[in-house]
Amino acid sequence: MRGRNMRETQRKAFDLAVATARARMLAARWDEAYAQLERAHVLGQRFVWPHVVSHWLMLRVELARRSPLAAFGQAVRIAIGAVGSAAGVVPVGNTGGSDVNMFRRMPIPPELQALMEDEGAR
């Protein structure tokens, strides 16, 4: 999953989180998959494709969990997130779950912040 202009270390961390989430999804380990997708969301939310991918996979997890309201929340976030990323307006640090206000800014964990700032601040 490559986002336009995403830093190499950030892209690799995003790709690893998505790959780990997919493996957990195959094993029906939904909570573990979701935790990885939240990580991927924080890493990729400033880039259209990674942002959409993280919400798409969250939607799939919520459908597998049989959580229709949360799945609906993810469907809405796919559309709004794509537009927000394209416009450069995202709530930085937001983990992307339907249980979090989609406009709420959240602190970025230091480990992820370091990956996002590698090669200089954006």
* Residue 25 φ then ψ, to 5°: -65, -40
Question: What gap in Å lies between CA 97 and CA 55, rounded to an integer?
Answer: 8
Query: What digits encode the pLDDT tens for the residues 14-28?
Result: 999 999 999 999 999
Query: What digits encode the pLDDT tens for the residues 33-92?
Result: 999 999 999 999 999 999 999 999 999 999 999 999 999 999 999 999 999 999 999 999
Phi-psi region of 93 (alpha: psi -120 to 50; beta: other; left: phi over 0): left
